[in-house]
Chains A and B, each alone.
Chain A
């Protein structure tokens, strides 16, 4: 009998991510999995099933709802949580605004993406979460490329890229002081294409926003924005209908669509393989300055 003893790259990434999820379960008292209903956090949930079944998840799913999310992503989120029978906690940016803790952005393209940090930090404090698992990947953005798998945040949620703990072999050090928390990124080493190939290989269900559909849009700074009650139209804005899909799904005010006919996972994988722009190329929040992501992360953003 010959034994095949080499894993494909997707199997290697999967084994590593499961290992990281189990480290979180073993090292922390009160972890949480941040779950938005987007493809990366859906992949995380799938990996958690592999890591902990037939047992329960040792953490709840937590969503920070900006109030400007796609209804379809929210419905999907609720259905998935119910289907797997795990606990879902939702906290609302609107509540932080009503309590005067967060202030709605002004200016030309106001977004709630930035102020969700306020609600996230309050939620961490409310439940005393000591670890928050997230679906961020290092290939998304250059500041993310610097992030450790176990990323220690101070009591204000802040990240100091110059003082990161050395992270050696696959020994993760989750020891923290009271009030600090660790952001954990089990799919750090995955690329956008890896996620899509994995979704296909594992037959993972996604919200249909990721597949091509007809939608009312406006053009802004060469990006396609979905028309919604949260986007204020200027007098010069021309509403058009286009066939689009989303590569990334976040707050409706900063998530742009791409023109695409890709209607199946195979089409999407082909499209990404030949794409000349990154996933975050369609995120207006990252284009605000050269160090936009780094500065948000220093301030406690995911």
Chain B
């Protein structure tokens, strides 16, 4: 059984929460006591309000909007699913980015009556920026446009025109009605013209064979295990999660940023040593030579090194009410490392709707732009386009300790 993580994105009232409620309900993943709880909360237009299955906070239920990401879980005989139900409001963009940062697929909801709107552009831009490999556009509320095939094709054409500029490759379109359940889990009675898959059918069948293990090998050292007991007197294991690629016993490795070389003596797990291990396994690596390695260092296979530099260029999503201004200093956290850094310049801000690059002196809350940043010490990284694990970072404000920026490295 494998696992698919996906996010749902869409504007307020596009029916995201209803769609998730429908997916859970029609796939029989809603329990009796949950149903009773939402039935107690009252009905909307004579139907149980399925959206209440996802809006977990009091304020959300009161306002009828999603404020923060909710994670939902369901499974079918074919696959397990983790849904990140992200808010649609512009003011909660940072929460959408949070939900989108570690999923394999995005569902983008479009209201069939309204078509592609500003929020669609915005969400699609974020999805492409975060390099979510697969997108499925659900044209929702088809029942309100008389299940019109023309309307569906119109929206599809418009979206494809816009998506071409974003370089999104894998896009699927499905006409649905989340409220009534058309093409969500069961095929629609109202749209006999639709010969394609239902949404759930698509989610179950899409090939998500991860390519993490085919990428260059990267192992950020997380924690050093040194028992210092009689039995394990000289044991010195580098614990961590393999970010990408495959390691084998005997492999020649480099440790970055120092550049020291050694060989893998053993790859340990609690069940014993293994000959090889691949992403995303959590293991403990022992080396043949005693070299100085600590948390934040990266073990890689010799021959395919990442970039090592103090200067990096990155796309950043700003998440703090206090604006990002050149000269500001932040703690930069990338893989398991932490280093002081200073923002040198803001190259531009991106207009998420038009992709226009706007010259600005600062980046405000929920804005996205390109920055240049310098770290106090060299760090090892890849471009985000090559490796989501080693090409991403967050900025932490050392005054408030808040996570204030999400960065995707585009170069050095």
- B319 near A19: Cβ-Cβ < 8 Å: no
- A9 near B222: Cβ-Cβ < 8 Å: no
- A166 near B403: Cβ-Cβ < 8 Å: yes
Given the complex of chains A and B, what is the CA–CA distance between A52 and B102 in angstroms?
26
CB within 8 Å of A: which of B396-411? Answer: 396, 398, 401-403, 406
What are the residues of chain A within 8 A of B388 when measuring CB–CB?
169
Given the complex of chains A and B, what is the CA–CA distance between A18 and B82 in angstroms?
19
- A189 near B403: Cβ-Cβ < 8 Å: no
- A53 near B270: Cβ-Cβ < 8 Å: yes
- B269 near A54: Cβ-Cβ < 8 Å: no
Q: Does B193 contact A (CB under 8 A)?
A: no
Contacts A51-B282, A278-B33 given: A5-B2 contact, CB under 8 Å?
A: no
Q: Does B47 contact A (CB under 8 A)?
A: no
Interface of chain A: mostly helix, strand, loop or mixed: loop
- A12 near B101: Cβ-Cβ < 8 Å: no
Given the complex of chains A and B, what is the CA–CA distance between A8 and B1 in angstroms?
6
Contact of B282 among A15, A171, A280 (CB under 8 A): A15
- A168 near B101: Cβ-Cβ < 8 Å: yes
- B71 near A162: Cβ-Cβ < 8 Å: no
CB within 8 Å of B: which of A45-79? Answer: 49-56
Given the complex of chains A and B, what is the CA–CA distance between A176 and B398 in angstroms?
10
Given the complex of chains A and B, what is the CA–CA distance between A169 and B241 in angstroms?
13
Distance in Å from the Cβ of A272 to the closest Cβ of chain B?
11
Given the complex of chains A and B, what is the CA–CA distance between A9 and B4 in angstroms?
9
Given the complex of chains A and B, what is the CA–CA distance between A63 and B31 in angstroms?
31
Contact of A6 among B40, B209, B231, B246 (CB under 8 A): B209
- A3 near B98: Cβ-Cβ < 8 Å: no
What are the residues of chain B within 8 A of A166 when measuring CB–CB?
94-95, 97-98, 319, 394, 403, 406
- A277 near B31: Cβ-Cβ < 8 Å: yes
CB within 8 Å of B: which of A1-59? Answer: 3, 5-9, 11-16, 18-19, 22-23, 25-26, 49-56
- B402 near A145: Cβ-Cβ < 8 Å: no
- A138 near B97: Cβ-Cβ < 8 Å: no
Contacts A22-B282, A290-B61 given: A168-B406 contact, CB under 8 Å?
A: yes
Contact of A161 among B68, B101, B223, B276 (CB under 8 A): B68
- A146 near B69: Cβ-Cβ < 8 Å: yes
Q: Which residue of B lies closest to A173 (CB)?
A: B403
Interface string of B45-64 (1 = CB under 8 A from A): 00000000111111101000
Contact of A15 among B75, B98, B102, B280 (CB under 8 A): B280
Distance in Å from the Cβ of B161 to the closest Cβ of chain A?
30
Q: Does A270 contact B (CB under 8 A)?
A: no
Distance in Å from the Cβ of B406 to the closest Cβ of chain A?
5
- A16 near B280: Cβ-Cβ < 8 Å: yes
Distance in Å from the Cβ of B349 to the closest Cβ of chain A?
19
What are the residues of chain B within 8 A of A6 when measuring CB–CB?
2, 209-210, 213
Q: Does A264 contact B (CB under 8 A)?
A: no
- B276 near A3: Cβ-Cβ < 8 Å: yes
What are the residues of chain B within 8 A of A18 when measuring CB–CB?
241, 282
Contact of B222 among A12, A22, A138 (CB under 8 A): A22
- A49 near B270: Cβ-Cβ < 8 Å: yes
Q: Does A177 contact B (CB under 8 A)?
A: yes
Q: Does B333 contact A (CB under 8 A)?
A: yes
Given the complex of chains A and B, what is the CA–CA distance between A166 and B278 in angstroms?
28
Contact of B56 among A7, A26, A281, A294 (CB under 8 A): A294
- Among B59, B225, B282, the one with the most A-chain Cβ atoms within 10 Å of its Cβ is B282
What are the residues of chain A within 8 A of B37 when measuring CB–CB?
290
Given the complex of chains A and B, what is the CA–CA distance between A5 and B333 in angstroms?
28
Q: Does B117 contact A (CB under 8 A)?
A: no
What are the residues of chain A within 8 A of B226 when measuring CB–CB?
55
Contact of B223 among A22, A146, A191 (CB under 8 A): A22
What are the residues of chain B within 8 A of A142 when measuring CB–CB?
53-56, 70
Q: Does B150 contact A (CB under 8 A)?
A: no
Q: Does A291 contact B (CB under 8 A)?
A: yes
- A26 near B1: Cβ-Cβ < 8 Å: no
Given the complex of chains A and B, what is the CA–CA distance between A189 and B322 in angstroms?
32
Q: Does A165 contact B (CB under 8 A)?
A: yes
Q: Which residue of A lies closest to B52 (CB)?
A: A142
Q: Does A122 contact B (CB under 8 A)?
A: no
Q: Among the listed stretches B173-181, B232-240, B254-262, B352-360, which one makes contact with chain A, having 4 or more residues with CB under 8 Å of it?
A: B232-240
What are the residues of chain A within 8 A of B70 when measuring CB–CB?
142, 145-146
Question: Which residues from chain B sit less than 8 Å from chain A, CB to CB?
Answer: 1-3, 31-34, 37, 40-41, 53-59, 61, 67-73, 75, 80, 82, 94-95, 97-98, 101-102, 209-210, 213-214, 222-223, 225-227, 229, 231-232, 235, 237, 239-241, 246, 269-270, 276, 278-282, 295, 319, 331, 333-336, 388-389, 392-394, 396, 398, 401-403, 406
In the complex, given contacts A5-B279, A167-B98, A294-B58, what are 10 additional A-B residue pairs having Cβ atoms less than 8 angstroms apart? A3-B213, A6-B210, A12-B3, A12-B280, A25-B223, A142-B54, A145-B71, A166-B97, A275-B31, A277-B33
Nearest first, the 10 A-B pairs at minimum CB distance are: A142-B56, A281-B33, A5-B213, A18-B282, A9-B3, A50-B270, A175-B401, A168-B101, A276-B32, A19-B241
